[in-house]
Amino acid sequence: QGSELSGWAMGRWTYEGIDLNHNFADLNTALWDAEDNDMVPHEFPNHYIPIPEYYTFANATVAPETRAVIDWMQRYPFVLSANLHGGELVVTYPFDMTRTYWKAQELTPTADDGVFRWLATVYATSNLAMASEERRLCHYDDFIRFGNIINGANWHTVPGSMNDFSYLHTNCFEITVELSCDKFPHASELPTEWENNRESLLLYMEQVHRGIKGVVRDQETEQGIANAIISVDGINHDIRT
């Protein structure tokens, strides 16, 4: 129900007054508290973190859209995702929530920071609008000097983001693409927006072929093993088959 004439924030909330951009369970705080108490990963997992009980209550402030997306994530083993926003020209990557709870901005990298920075860079450098030599600032933030990518929490903290939830509750690595200075482009501008993003969307999807992939099998039966935990030295974030 939004319009530029009534302000960019109009339409951000659902009819019930819920901001879907902040509506996922905060798993970050539980992880960081466990890390501070040296409980990770032996007593508290560094991946597939369970959803807190309070979040599952019927009277919890959780939109049906959010519950549906979580159910979708749990049914399908996604490994790569991007959500598309408007109002800026930048690609953000997790964490979206600052580790210091009272800070509005703070660099808060994940254990897979190098991978996330690569994924964001792949999109930003192939996006025609972001890579243009005539690129101008959308507002007051100068993302150009950072290559049009930024750690989400280092821009502004977003507790309960889908990016952080995807990373901590599933195997999925997710980024946010702010793909236009204009939050409400006119229909006549959509073909241009498509051309700006077509190649970057394709290149981004191709990144699923990076890294180690294969099947974990039982040595004797050669049957696939579900829920096998794969750990990589030096990266405090495991993956499950």
Catalytic site positions: 178
Residue 80: strand, helix, or coil: strand
- Could you tell me which of 204, 155, 176, 160 has the C-alpha nearest to residue 63? 160
Distance in angstroms (rounded) separating the CA atoms of residues 16 and 125:
38
Phi, psi for 152 (deg, rounded to 5): -55, -45
Q: For residues 116 and 57, is the Cβ–Cβ distance under 8 A?
A: no
Half-sphere CA count of 140, side-chain side, radius 13 A? 1
Q: What is the identity of the amino acid at 81?
A: S
Alpha-helix runs per DSSP H in 172-214: 190-206
Query: For residue 95, is the peptide bond before it cis, meaning its omega torsion is within 30 degrees of 0?
Result: yes
Output the CA torsion 61→67→68→72 (10° steps). 160
Q: What is the identity of the amino acid at 176?
A: T
Q: For residues 124 and 91, is the Cβ–Cβ distance under 8 A?
A: yes
Phi, psi for 178 (deg, rounded to 5): -90, 105
